[in-house]
Amino acid sequence: MAQGGHGVLLGSVPGVDSGTVVVIGGGIVGINTAKMACGLGAKVYILDMNLDRLRYLSDAMSANCFMLHSSPAIQWKCRGRVHASQEKKELNMF
């Protein structure tokens, strides 16, 4: 049922780029979210501050999942953009 939003296809089909998902934090919830999005075929970026956790995740996650080292300042900036995008209804949250 159409709701009038701008839907994003996470998985790719011929001629259409796959969706991109950014996960803030590589904890239990973040990793399960990333696994779900990777399984659907999306390009997934995981931001985390713990290098040991990122090393583990780079071995455990699939090839379409990319790890990025983060800092508290970057994570706060991302959260601010997420809240601004939610207010403008430009972003869908799972």
- In what helix (H) or strand (E) does residue 46 lie, and over which residues does it extend? strand 43-48
Please, are residues 5 and 89 in contact by the beta-carbon 8 Å criterion?
A: yes
Comparison of pLDDT for 17 and 83, the residue scoring more: 17
Distance CA 24, CA 45 (A): 8
Distant-in-sequence, close-in-space partners of 19: CB < 8 Å, separation ≥ 6? 8, 9, 10, 11, 37, 42, 43
pTM given for the model: 0.74
pLDDT in tens, 30-79: 999 999 999 888 889 998 999 999 999 999 998 989 998 888 787 777 77
Domains, in order of start, for the chain: 20-87 (3.40.50.720)
